[in-house]
Every structure is written in structure tokens, then in C-alpha cells.
Amino acid sequence: MKLVPLGDKIVLKQLEAEETTKSGIVLPGQAKEKPQEAEVIAVGPGGNIDGKEVVMQVKVGDKVIYSKYAGTDVELDGEEYIIVKQNDILAIVE
């Protein structure tokens, strides 16, 4: 199966959380903070959303930082994805 976002929606795959801190302390599974960095898997077409022209500014393969509590978590074929609006993306990581 394949997720195809509509309108200004974007499908993200969250990047793995860090296993150790910068000082070398190994974190147990529960102590890991959910990262806000993800890879773009699919991008909606944009277009006229709520009377405003929306041009999509990200593309498949981009690494992005998104708002902490943004989006909807979805599981498909054993993989976890997050569907967010383009407004919830804060930056592209280059």
C-alpha cells in the first residue's frame, strides 16, 4: 500500500531517536525524547486550500523539523508515519 496525501498534507517518517547523549550516557527506551526531525515520504499537490493558493515548499527526500505536537500518527504495513500540514513544518535541514 502507498499513502498519497491530499491538499497541503505531507507524509513524514520520523528519524530514529538518539540512543546516547552527547556526553556518552546511554538512554533507556522510555527516556528517549521523540525527535522532531523526519524525512519527507510523500507530498500533496497543494493548490487552492481554503481560498488561498498553497505552493508546496518541500519535496520527497527532504529532512525537515516539524512542530512538536503536530500531525496525525498512522501505521501502515508495520511502518509508522506522521501526516502533517505544510504549516506544521518549521525548517528544512540541509
Domain ranges of the chain: 7-15+31-90
β-strand partners of 43 = 10
List the chain pLDDT tens, one digit each, 94 residues: 788 999 999 999 988 765 666 676 665 554 445 668 999 999 999 888 788 888 999 999 999 999 988 899 999 999 999 999 999 999 999 8
CATH number listed for the domain at residues 7-15+31-90? 2.30.33.40
User: Is this structure's pTM higher than 0.75?
Assistant: yes
- Tell which residue, 46, 41, 59, 29, has the closest CA to residue 3: 41
- Tell which residue, 64, 61, 81, has the closest CA to residue 11: 81
Neighbour count for residue 40 (Cβ, 10 Å): 20
What distance lies between CA 61 and its chain's CA centroid? 11
**3-class SS of residue 83:** strand
